[in-house]
Amino acid sequence: MRADDFLYPTDAGLYCAPGDFFIDPVRPVPRALITHGHGDHARAGHGTVMATRETLDIMAIRYGEDFCATRQAADGPAQVGGVRVSFHPAGHILGSAQIRLACDGGPVFVVSGDYCRTPNPVCQPWEPVPCDVFVTEATFGLPVFRHPEPAAETARLLASMAEFPGRPHLIGAYALGKAQRVIALLRAAGYDRPIHLHGAVQRLTDYHAEQGIEMGCLRPATQPREIEGQVVIAPPSAFASPWVQRFRDPVICFASGWMAVRARARQRGVELPLVISDHVDWPQLTRTLAELRPEQVWVTHGAEEGLVRWCELNGLHARPLRLVGYEDEAE
pLDDT (tens digit per residue) in 148-182: 999 999 999 999 999 999 899 999 999 999 999 99
Taking the C-alpha atoms of residue 88 and residue 76, their distance in angstroms, rounded to an integer, is: 9
Q: Is the pTM of this model over 0.85?
A: yes
Topology of domain 150-274 in CATH is Rossmann fold (3.40.50)
- CATH 3.60.15.10 residue spans of the chain: 3-144+279-320
Q: What is the pLDDT along the chain (331 residues), one digit of tens a residue?
A: 788 899 999 999 999 999 999 999 999 999 999 999 999 999 999 999 999 999 999 999 999 999 999 999 999 999 999 999 999 999 999 999 999 999 988 899 999 999 999 999 999 999 999 999 999 999 999 999 999 999 999 999 999 999 999 899 999 999 999 999 999 999 999 999 999 999 999 999 999 999 999 999 999 998 777 676 789 999 999 998 888 888 989 999 999 999 999 999 998 899 999 999 999 999 999 999 999 999 999 999 888 999 999 999 999 999 999 887 776 544 3
Tens of pLDDT along 170-216? 999 999 999 999 999 999 999 999 999 999 999 999 999 999 999 99
Exposure string for 144-181, b = 16+ CB within 10 A, e = fewer: ebebeebeebbebbbebbeebeebbbbbbbbbbbbbbb
Fold of the domain built from segment(s) 3-144+279-320: Metallo-beta-lactamase; Chain A (3.60.15)
For CATH 3.40.50.12650, the residue range(s) in the chain are 150-274
Residue whose C-alpha is closest to residue 91's, from 121, 123, 113: 123
